Structure 1
Amino acid sequence: MTAMTTGTPSRADANRRRILDIALAELLRDPDASMDQIARAAGVVRRTVYGHFPSREALISTLLDGAVEAVAAAYAEGRAGAGDPAECVARTTLAVWRVADRYRILVGLAQRSVTVQGIRDRFTPVREACVEVLRQGLEEGVFSSPLPAPALAYMHEQMLFALMEAVNDGLLAAAEAGSSAAVTLLSTAGVPVSRATALVAELSDVTTARPAG
């Protein structure tokens, strides 16, 4: 009896995770994919999908929560290996973009079903970490901006969202978007473009050369 009780939630969790993975793939392929399309792609009836997610908006909101968790983990990883604030911004932007690229279609979709404030609230922990790095850089003279650190962090966040939309709209190649984003954020923090470009190129080369696993 106990084994059956503990086994059922595991199967339910696995089904839920599979539906989420397939939903993300379908939405990347077709941002207007319906719950019916997602159910067919997952090989289940629509009722099964609705059993986990009462609406398409709830499904997208759940996917967004997963994206935020992945972004936060990537930011922490990038920050852990950084030296000065400029390197920290470059590393974290590159790390976040590698994860966010998988979820970038959600930015536009979430804005239709989740309030902008709701999206901002989800990213509060990452934004607060960014503020700390930017404040340190401004105090040390590594960065130069007329904006205080909190406003600069907010601007960086919105710029990343805008760059994701630019990729979605075909205005920026996905392959070069991460490096472009890192250089852009550094330059808006007052780092000379030449230095920002060289730093990002160096870090990108190191990442590319790192053995898998």
Structure 2
Amino acid sequence: MDVALAELLHDPDASMDQIARAAGVVRRTVYGHFPNREALIAALVDGATEAVIEAHAAGRAGVDDPAEALARSMLAVWDIADRYRLLVALAQRSVTMEGIKQRLTPVREDCVALLRRGQESGVFRSPVPAGALAYVHEQTLFGLMEAVNSGALDAADAGRAAARTALLSAGVGVEEAEGLLARVGS
């Protein structure tokens, strides 16, 4: 799987034969695990999704303040998203965005609960419902991945941009968001 990911990130059009050669196995071995290239990509996306779920949980762990939890979560998720951003672009061709969204449902549901808690406590002042904001934050990450892929944004700045955008869209003031980001780091 690691070799397949590396090969596909290096060459998004890498064939199963190329992946097998890079892994030091015959093509039949790869096909023994994955019936086709799309199944291999789907398995890689599943692995990336699990990593995102873990990063999201780790970023929020032990943090009571909803704004800080949101910022830390976005920073942690970006670290994973950055590693897999080219895979997401590739997966959009075969797994589809709908398939990716379905895989991210646990993270989205967790974000909805966090955003709702922040809105109820007055930390988040956005009039946009928590469920809609969770989609906005998810799409922000995808948009930032595209911005990095196209060269419009440096990957080193994208995690902070994701956290800042999430905080601002949730209704945290600019100065408050910047102060929070300065405290939690990038």
- TM-score tier (shorter): over 0.9
Aligned residues: CA RMSD: 1.3
What is the CA-CA distance between 1:197 and the residue it aligns to? 2.1
What is the CA-CA distance between 1:125 and the residue it aligns to? 0.8
Pairing of 1:51-70 with structure 2 (within 5 A): 51-70=32-51
CA distance in 2, matches of 1:145, 1:176: 25
CA distance in 1, matches of 2:11, 2:181: 32
State how many pairs are aligned: 186
Tell me the residue number matched to 2:4.
23
Tell me the residue number matched to 1:141.
122
CA distance in 1, matches of 2:62, 2:147: 29
In the alignment, residue 41 of structure 1 is paired with which amino acid? A
1:105 to 58, 68, 86: 86
SS at match of 1:158: helix
1:83 to 59, 64, 67: 64
CA distance in 2, matches of 1:143, 1:188: 9
Higher CA-based Rg = 1
* Long gaps (5+) in structure 1: 1-19, 206-213
Could you tell which deviates more after superposition, 29-38 or 144-153?
29-38
In the alignment, residue 9 of structure 2 is paired with which amino acid? L
CA distance in 2, matches of 1:148, 1:121: 20
What is the CA-CA distance between 1:193 and the residue it aligns to? 2.1
What is the CA-CA distance between 1:152 and the residue it aligns to? 0.7
Percent identity over paired residues: 68
1:72 to 53, 57, 64: 53
Could you tell which deviates more after superposition, 89-98 or 26-35?
26-35
Tell me the residue number matched to 2:146.
165
CA distance in 1, matches of 2:174, 2:14: 40
CA distance in 1, matches of 2:32, 2:150: 33
In the alignment, residue 63 of structure 1 is paired with which amino acid? L
CA distance in 2, matches of 1:82, 1:28: 34
Please say if residues 57 and 114 of structure 1, whose CA atoms lie closer than 8 Å, have aligned partners that are also in contact: yes
In the alignment, residue 24 of structure 1 is paired with which amino acid? L
Q: Deviations over 1:35-67 (max 9, x none)?
A: 122112111221111111111110110001011
1:178 aligns with 2:159: yes
Runs of 4+ in 1 over 6 A off after TM superposition: none
Tell me the residue number matched to 2:107.
126
In the alignment, residue 49 of structure 1 is paired with which amino acid? V
1:204 aligns with 2:151: no
Normalised TM-score (structure 2): 0.94
Please say if residues 107 and 165 of structure 1, whose CA atoms lie closer than 8 Å, have aligned partners that are also in contact: no
In the alignment, residue 23 of structure 2 is paired with which amino acid? A
Normalised TM-score (structure 1): 0.83
What is the CA-CA distance between 1:97 and the residue it aligns to? 1.1
What is the CA-CA distance between 1:166 and the residue it aligns to? 1.2
